[in-house]
């Protein structure tokens, strides 16, 4: 297999407020705002189009968020999936698919082409036991367990532009898999194991996908963004000036800006705070649907 092309992009830092574990960057095409979470703060942040920063403290650890058609925000907390009013910050419980299981919390989530909120969990046991799951939450608040146990850290959800392929990773298991996907029903075909990552390639964290079918995976422990073809080959490696990228998303008016959240890490004896950076790319991202509530 040929070595990936290595790229050292110019990046722009978008916020001064330090993050502990920045995650789930989400572009709002209606307003030009960028939403994100800090898992451990715990908090939701919004970088407004005018550069101002809105802060919404959360009552429990938060894994991810998604935009709703109504303008409200779906947030995945350790206490369940809630709807947040962005005007007041008020939360309303929507459902609790994980049901308060011990050593578990909701993690990476994204709205799929089937109009459902897909949300995985992270096994919080030490050592991990494989209790990770993947849920599918409907707009009426009902939910299904799609993958029941066997995962360590469910992550990296993304769908191809035609909605026919779903990608999913396990950060702790360090693999990427894909499934045939039916956007009408949300049903999955058998899992295809695409890539087993090495430590040098970075553990696969959050992800996004471009219209050419390439999957962009944050290599969280080695400062990388890996651009991966549909067969699972890393074809481009973006070496970032920050060591802990956690998730990319496409945004900007033409969906050719990558926004990347990062986490706090100690590097060479100095603390590198989590943040959000932006970089320009020459491909267009696949837009993420809104949750239809």
Cβ 23 vs Cβ 36: under 8 Å: yes
Instruction: Give domain status of residue 30, yes or no.
Output: yes
Catalytic residue among 33, 98, 205, 222: 205
Radius of gyration of the CA atoms of the chain, in A: 17
C-alpha distances in angstroms, 66 versus 51, 74, 96, 177, 243? Answer: 21, 5, 16, 22, 26
Mean pLDDT of the chain: 96
Cβ 217 vs Cβ 178: under 8 Å: no
Task: Determine the pLDDT at residue 267.
Answer: 83
* Boundaries of domain holding 14: 5-280
Instruction: Give domain status of residue 223, yes or no.
Output: yes
Instruction: Give domain status of residue 287, yes or no.
Output: no
Place 1 in a pLDDT band, splitting at 50, 70 and 90: low
> Could you count the other beta carbons within 10 Å of the beta carbon of residue 139?
15
Place 201 in a pLDDT band, splitting at 50, 70 and 90: confident
Instruction: Give domain status of residue 135, yes or no.
Output: yes
Mean pLDDT of 234-245: 95
Instruction: Give domain status of residue 290, yes or no.
Output: no
Confirm whether 205 is a catalytic residue.
Answer: yes
- How many distinct structural domains can be found in the chain? 1
Whether the CA torsion 11, 264, 287, 172 is positive or negative: it is positive
Alpha-carbon gap, residue 117 to 99, rounded angstroms:
17
pTM for the structure as a whole? 0.96
CATH of the domain at 179: 2.120.10.30
- 71: pLDDT strictly greater than 80: yes
């Amino acid at each position: 297999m040929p070595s990936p092309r290595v790229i050292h992009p110019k990046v722009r830092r978008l916020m001064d407020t330090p993050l502990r574990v920045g995650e789930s960057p989400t572009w709002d095409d209606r307003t030009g705002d960028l939403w994100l979470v800090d898992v451990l703060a715990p908090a939701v942040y919004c970088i407004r189009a005018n550069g101002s920063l809105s802060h919404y403290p959360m009552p429990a650890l938060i894994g991810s968020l998604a935009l709703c058609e109504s303008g409200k925000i779906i947030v995945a907390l350790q206490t369940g999936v809630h709807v947040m009013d962005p005007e007041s910050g008020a939360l309303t419980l929507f459902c609790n698919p994980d049901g308060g299981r011990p050593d578990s919390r909701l993690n990476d989530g994204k709205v799929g082409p089937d109009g459902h909120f897909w949300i995985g969990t992270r096994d919080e046991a030490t050592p991990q036991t494989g209790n990770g799951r993947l849920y599918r939450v409907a707009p009426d608040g009902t939910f299904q367990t799609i993958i029941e146990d066997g995962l360590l850290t469910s992550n990296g959800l993304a769908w191809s532009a035609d909605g026919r392929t779903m990608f999913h990773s396990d950060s702790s298991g360090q693999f990427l898999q894909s499934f045939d996907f039916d956007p009408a029903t949300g049903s999955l075909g058998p899992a295809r194991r695409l890539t087993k990552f090495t430590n040098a390639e970075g553990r696969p964290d959050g992800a996004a996908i471009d219209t050419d079918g390439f999957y962009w995976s944050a290599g969280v422990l080695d400062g990388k963004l890996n651009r991966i073809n549909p067969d699972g080959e890393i074809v481009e490696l973006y070496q970032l000036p920050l060591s802990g990228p956690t998730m990319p998303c496409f945004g900007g008016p033409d969906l050719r800006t990558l926004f990347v959240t990062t986490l706090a890490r100690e590097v060479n004896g100095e603390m590198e705070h989590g943040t959000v950076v932006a970089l320009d790319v020459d491909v267009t991202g696949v837009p993420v649907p809104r949750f239809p509530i």
